[in-house]
Amino acid sequence: MSDRELRAVLADAAALAASYRESAPERPHRPQHTYAEARAAFDAPTPERGAAGADIIAELARLAEPGLANIIGPRFFGWVMGQSHPTGVAADLLISAWGQNVGNAHATPSASACEEVVARWLLDLLDLPRDASVGFVSGATMANFTCLAAARGEVLRRVGWDVEADGLIGAPPVHVVVGAEAHSTIFSALRYLGLGAKRIVAVAVDEQGKMRADAFARALAPLDGPIIAITQAGHINSGAFDPFAQIVEAAHAKRAWVHVDGAFGLWVRACKDRAHLGNGLQSCDSWGVDGHKWLQTPYDSAYAIVRDADAHRRAMGIAASYLPEGEERHPADYTPELSRRARGFATWATIRAFGREGIDELVARDCALARRMAERLSAEHGVEVLNDVVLNQVAVRLGADLDGEVSDALTQRTIARIQREGECFVGGAHWRGRQIIRISVCGMNTGEADADASVDAILSAWWTERGANA
């Protein structure tokens, strides 16, 4: 590729990226293409000959855009997703252009050093032990996996078993205690770790989905030997936080390792107004948290934080590099991967863009918007908000149709209509025995007008569907 072609293809990509982002507020919030339509758009025989970069990039945008979800749009409340801060996105373009493979500090010093500094910033912002170690992974799924690998190694080491060397076969059993409403990816992590997705002690939760401290203590009482307890900061439907102080006290009395799945909720620690929700979690042993949810880093980005850096390195270090660190921090010692993109740069840029104050305001604003939406929705006769809206999640249950029938089908049809109309995007979930609408306010682009217009769209879809059924 000539210099001129190089400049043209990168400029084209940047221009397309900017146009897409500028148009996000006006785009429908659902993809216009279904999966089948998107597949038909891309469907083509294996290319025999190469083509010009500028043509390829133009074609990619043309084929993909109709099937893109408008996750960066201001009225996107589906799942729990951030909006990819534009400065983080710009950094991400550089990351790709620089082609750094960040595993080893000598090979890629800038990428490795930047991660070391960003790790320090994260521990400061989240107010976690300053000597904890941080692995830069792809998402909270891998953050939880990484932390739980460290946990598995350490609780077995305490009973004289070296799982890193000898594996799990023949090892003393590890007890895993989990809240009954843990995120599904916790069970994936347990599966990858050979601990079994089903061989757990499930702890009863209250009506907000928080582990009950008394039930936790009862579950723990008969257990001996290696124990891992998995807690949650931010329940996926309610946003609720487990009672950390009580859990940690009971767990540490039995030398159990306590992990926190804080994929989005851990960010309350960076918000003066909400920090109280996370009281006590700083005494846990490991924490998984996403960048690409509340921090708004571009995908993909999350952090595996472990109090005992040696346990972290024993679990993840490649070859013998987990032996005592020298001057340099080798990124590959803290993540499952050897070769990976230098995602620390995007976190660096995003934290620089917000600053501590900006993150504090973002979390507080999203929580206030969630409360605003919850208040307006629950003021409507027949609409019930099931959770205490302490955070950014709102679980909405719709009442009866005009025949007086309460049905999950009505809620499902309402969600489908909201998504079809595209004014905003909400998803659904099954919680407490019923279909709910789940609203997650997790973006930087959402304002009060968006929240209000979205409530209008939700109610109007419900009225239409309710009437249609009568």
Q: How far is the CB of 353 from ligand PLP (least distance, A)?
A: 20
Distance of CA 55 to the CA centre of its chain: 35
- Residue 290 as a binder of ligand PLP (CB under 6 A): the answer is yes
Which of residues 140, 189, 316, 346 is near ligand PLP by CB under 6 A?
140
**Residue, CB closest to ligand PLP:** 139
Binding piece for ligand PLP, criterion CB under 6 A, among 16-24, 62-70, 97-105, 256-264? 256-264
Edge to edge, what strands does the sheet with 201-203 contain?
A: 133-137, 302-306, 286-290, 257-261, 227-232, 175-179, 201-203
* 179 touching ligand PLP, by CB under 6 A: no
Answer for which of 70, 87, 141, 237 binds ligand PLP (CB under 6 A) is 141
The 3-state secondary structure of 292-346 reads: CCCCCCCCCCEEEEECCHHHHHHHHCCCCCCCCCCCCCCHHHHCCCCCCCCCHHH
The reply to whether 287 sits near ligand PLP by the rule CB under 6 A is no
Q: In what order do the strands lie in the sheet with 393-398?
A: 383-385, 393-398, 434-440, 427-431
114, 122, 227, 236: which one binds ligand PLP (CB under 6 A): 236
Looking at residue 45, the DSSP 8-state letter turns out to be P
| Stretch (H or E) spanning 448 | helix 448-469
Nearest to 321 by CA among 304, 338, 308: 338
Separation between Cα atoms, residue 390 and residue 371, nearest integer Å: 8
Residues numbered 298 to 337 that lie near ligand PLP (CB under 6 A) are: 302
Q: How far apart are CA 370 and CA 199, in angstroms?
A: 36
Task: Tell me the HSE value of 143 on the side-chain side, using a 13 A CA sphere.
Answer: 30
Q: Quick check: 80 binds ligand PLP (CB under 6 A)?
A: yes
Instruction: Compute the least distance from the CB of residue 10 to ligand PLP, in Å.
Output: 29
Which of 185, 238, 296, 393 is in the footprint of ligand PLP by CB under 6 A? 185
Q: Which of 183, 269, 274, 314 binds ligand PLP (CB under 6 A)?
A: 183
Residue 395 is a binding residue for ligand PLP (CB under 6 A): no
Closest CA to 237 of 264, 202, 274, 275: 264
- Pick between residue 13 and residue 128 the one whose CB is nearest to ligand PLP: 128
Nearer to ligand PLP, 133 or 297 (CB): 297
CB of 263 to ligand PLP, least distance (A): 3
What is the amino acid identity at position 140?
A: A
By CB under 6 A, residue 139 contacts ligand PLP:
yes
Q: How far apart are CA 277 and CA 257, in angstroms?
A: 21
Choose the stretch contacting ligand PLP; rule: CB under 6 A; options: 40-48, 113-121, 137-145, 167-175: 137-145
Is 266 a binding residue for ligand PLP by CB under 6 A? The answer is: no
Residues found near ligand PLP in the complex (CB under 6 A):
80, 139-141, 183, 185, 234, 236, 261, 263-264, 290, 302
